[in-house]
Structure 1
Amino acid sequence: MGFIQKFLRGFLGRTLLIIVGVGLAGSAWAQHMQHDSAATAQPASQRQDVNYRPDVTFTLRTSIADGRLVFIGDRGPIAGQVNPELKVPEGAVVQINLINGDGATHDIVVPDFSAHSDNISGKDSATAIVFRAGKNGTFEYYCSLPGHKAAGMVGKVVVGEASAQLKAEAPQIAHDPSDVGTPVGKRGPEHLTVNLLTTEVEGRLADNSTYRFWTFNNKVPGPFVRARVGDTITINLANAKDSTHIHSIDLHAVTGPGGGAAVTQVPPGQTKSFDFKALHPGLYVYHCATPMVAQHITNGMYGMILIEPEGGLSKVDHEFYVMQGELYTAQRHGASGLQEFSLDKLLAENPEHVMFNGSMDALTKIYKMESKVGDTVRIFFGVGGPNLTSSFHVIGEVFDRVYDQASLTSKPLTNVQTTLVPPGGATMVEFKTDYPGKYLLVDHALSRVEKGVGGFLTVTGKPDHEIFHSGEAIDPNSGH
């Protein structure tokens, strides 16, 4: 037996990984797979040189489905499934074959097992990875070409059974973007009471991953509080009995000590209250202000309060509440199970997760933001942070009006592409939806999309070819 043969056999028997890059043409590849399904994706030369047989083999094909790039199961139980869940026993040797079905350049990676294929670019070209699933949990496979994961090329490898229950058991903490309260209209000043409960709860971060969030009213962000200038507002802040930390609230709309935080340092099981008068119209962030403040904020303790001007805001067809936040976890983005807070990453301002409304897919899968052609949309957008400034942008749209820094009494900016929002800041944007399609909300620091920040606004209706027209198929990976 030659050196290469011994080397590869030794690696497979000992540990994790063999990475196999196959550059076979489509027809020969297909014939080989039909010949021996157990040895799928091994070219004849490799089967002669390496004495192994994978325990589990999957074959995926790259494709475009519903306007996005995807993997599609090519045969067996996963045939026809989009981004199928690949279930394997712990310790199994797993082979994943990838066939290029659309002619673009792709690869496939499973970073948790250090598996990374070659790039394939010709239609029907193929490659494969082989690795040992040496640890229990749920792990991502995806295309590592820039933007492809965000465009839809991502799925899960489920090893063993432990993580399979997370999706069903973890509470849903993501805030519904349509839950924006009732506009004040033309009413006069009133006395309002706002009851808030601070909680510490293990909630769903993504499919098969959780985090111990600290929340206002079990949601991230907290409730959208809506009032008008001149209102007197009573804040009652209760801290759940099973909390392990003191919590508080600082509302940026409050004129007074600590924005309310100086009188609401609430131990577990207690309640504290204060009144304030809404002196200044605007859209304001609120957050916990108990040391260390940044940890309380990153864990989910932020929200917004809208103080409408006298006479209220103008009428629009749809209003949405969106906040951006960061999580600093010891485990890297995409890991399964309970994610643990990392103080070192917080202090280095290096988040593993950046998200809208509390979870990785709050505005892409859990909740729908919808409009029709000709409708007007208003987005109340804020950044809980605690550290990153957001470059808020909707791909394929232009903001008709931007109320910069959430100043509702200043003349709005018009025809804005991207607007900056600092941590602890907010903006209000308005625009008309003129053309049907799926429009992506992003932070235009676009590498953050790979860390989870994104949302869809789906517009339905009849297309106006004077606005946009092409005979070409829509490429979900173009532009951004």
Structure 2
Amino acid sequence: MFNRRSLMKVVGLTAVAAAAPAAAAQATSPAAAPAQALDVSRLPREQVELVAPPFIHPHEQATKAGPKVVEFRMVIEEKELVIDSHGTKVQAMTFNGSVPGPMMVVHEGDYVELTLVNPATNSMAHNIDFHSATGALGGGELTLINPGEQVVLRWKADRTGVFVYHCAPGGPMVPWHVVSGMSGAVMVLPRDGLKDEKGQPLKYDRAYYIGENDFYVPRDAKGKFKTYDSPGDSYADTVEVMRKLTPTHVVFNGREGALTGKNAMTAKVGERVLIVHAQANRDTRPHLIGGHGDYVWEAGKFANPPQRDLETWFIRGGSAGAALYTFKQPGIYAYVNHNLIEAFELGATAHFKVDGTWNDDLMKQVSPPGPIGPTKTGAVSPLKPTGKH
């Protein structure tokens, strides 16, 4: 078992861990609190039940109410996952059992209060680093817990956008825990909702959350993917593959085909859909085949005006982005990482299934496929030589 002491020895975080209680005390000390800080004890509270991606828990897009404390509870699960159609298995580490972990939605000025639980059945120490939070390694210093422990962290959502969170226990444990599935996203909405580049309101009819994950599965001498009994058993072999920086799988929401077929995301013609895309480790290039990014916050921050009409957008590793698109045609839309090798060979493909009526004005097949016909009188067929040189 990896306990906290052995983990600290591996990653050299003894000083960080020792500083954590002091940092926590300082953070709660009245002398350390800024003069303008709210009395959090007087704020209303809301308990939110998290849901598995690609879905997002119910939330208001805009609010006239004042700040509140939003309570979430998340359980860390170490579990075996099948990540492709061939039955390849990994010893995953997850938030709430899903890859990626669930999305949390609050409004600017709210307080996120997370109870993080590490059950005694787990074998590893874990924590959580919120890219949306300020100080203490995004909360990572204050949330490192052994199996059988839980911790409560509160942080203020003082900037808007979509952000990554991930496990960050320190040193070489960080990339291993992340690529083993331990990442998720937070969306901090402006209190008055999303806006276009002119400051006009933007609303969405549906919202989906796509987490892209790169896996590094070791192979045996015959080239077959290996299996392990526990995350710790897989560590040494997995790190060897990770160091080559060449993933064996690049998938959306935990496995190849997780968002295709019967699991495709749905919409209707005329609906505006918000797509949040997060990648905690590698750069990616989302593209909606047959559609566009009408409004795209490529860097994921709503204080910046959205870009318009993008064909493909860029999500930096360790960040999340958001795009709005109004579907205009029915059918199946492939949503891919436009590194097409990763999309078609490694698994980074999702589908939207859109219902509605076809619009011939936008696209029409003028004639069906068939034999090449005669050319018009006087025209030269490009398939026949002219005899002239």
* Class of the TM-score when normalised by the shorter of the 2 chains: 0.7 to 0.9
Distance (whole Å) between structure 1 residues aligned to residue 101 and residue 53 of structure 2:
10
Q: Which residue of 1 aligns with 2:219?
A: 331
Q: Which residue of 2 aligns with 1:200?
A: 78
1:461 aligned onto 2:338? no
Greater relative contact order: 1 or 2 (C-alpha under 8 angstroms, separation 6 or more)?
2
Correspondent of 2:270 among 374, 380, 402? 374
> TM-score scaled by structure 2?
0.73
User: Aligned in 2, Cα 1:276/1:392: closer, same or farther, shift over 3 Å?
Assistant: same
Contact conserved, 1:393 with 1:444, CA < 8 A, in 2? yes
Give the 3-state SS of the residue equivalent to 2:219 in structure 1.
coil
- Correspondence list, 1:185-196, <5 A: 185-186=62-63, 187-196=65-74
Aligned AA (1:373)? V
User: Aligned in 2, Cα 1:210/1:304: closer, same or farther, shift over 3 Å?
Assistant: same
Q: Which residue of 1 aligns with 2:174?
A: 293
User: Aligned in 2, Cα 1:327/1:472: closer, same or farther, shift over 3 Å?
Assistant: farther
1:177 aligned onto 2:42? no
Contact conserved, 1:401 with 1:415, CA < 8 A, in 2? yes
Q: Per-residue deviation at 1:368?
A: 2.2
Correspondent of 2:139 among 239, 246, 260? 260
Contact conserved, 2:219 with 2:226, CA < 8 A, in 1? no
Q: Which residue of 1 aligns with 2:88?
A: 209
Is the radius of gyration larger for structure 1 or structure 2?
1
Contact conserved, 2:108 with 2:189, CA < 8 A, in 1? yes
- Correspondence list, 1:467-478, <5 A: 467-471=362-366
Q: Per-residue deviation at 1:418?
A: 0.7
Aligned AA (1:465)? D
> TM-score scaled by structure 1?
0.59
Aligned AA (1:301)? M
Distance (whole Å) between structure 1 residues aligned to residue 78 and residue 297 of structure 2:
34
Contact conserved, 2:84 with 2:256, CA < 8 A, in 1? yes
1:344 aligned onto 2:240? yes
Distance (whole Å) between structure 2 residues aligned to residue 338 and residue 365 of structure 1:
27
Correspondent of 2:113 among 234, 237, 247? 234
Q: Which residue of 2 aligns with 1:283?
A: 162
Contact conserved, 1:184 with 1:227, CA < 8 A, in 2? no
Aligned AA (2:212)? Q
Query: What are structure 2's unaligned runs of at least 5 residues?
Result: 1-50, 195-201, 229-233, 370-389
Distance (whole Å) between structure 2 residues aligned to residue 294 and residue 195 of structure 1:
24
User: Aligned in 2, Cα 1:434/1:361: closer, same or farther, shift over 3 Å?
Assistant: same
Q: Per-residue deviation at 1:204?
A: 2.6
Give the 3-state SS of the residue equivalent to 1:456 in structure 2.
strand
Aligned AA (1:190)? K
Correspondent of 1:445 among 328, 332, 339? 339
Q: Per-residue deviation at 1:183?
A: 2.7
Give the 3-state SS of the residue equivalent to 1:405 in structure 2.
coil
Give the 3-state SS of the residue equivalent to 1:236 in structure 2.
strand
Q: Per-residue deviation at 1:345?
A: 1.6
Distance (whole Å) between structure 2 residues aligned to residue 437 and residue 246 of structure 1:
45
Q: Per-residue deviation at 1:396?
A: 1.1
Q: Per-residue deviation at 1:347?
A: 1.2
Contact conserved, 2:53 with 2:100, CA < 8 A, in 1? no
Query: What are structure 1's unaligned runs of at least 5 residues?
Result: 1-173, 475-480
1:322 aligned onto 2:217? no
Distance (whole Å) between structure 2 residues aligned to residue 473 and residue 458 of structure 1:
24
- Correspondence list, 1:356-371, <5 A: 356-365=252-261, 367-371=263-267
Q: Per-residue deviation at 1:336?
A: 6.8
Q: Which residue of 2 aligns with 1:406?
A: 300
Q: Which residue of 1 aligns with 2:15?
A: none
Contact conserved, 1:403 with 1:428, CA < 8 A, in 2? yes
Give the 3-state SS of the residue equivalent to 1:451 in structure 2.
coil
Q: What is the RMSD computed on CA atoms of the aligned residues?
A: 2.1
Contact conserved, 1:180 with 1:321, CA < 8 A, in 2? no
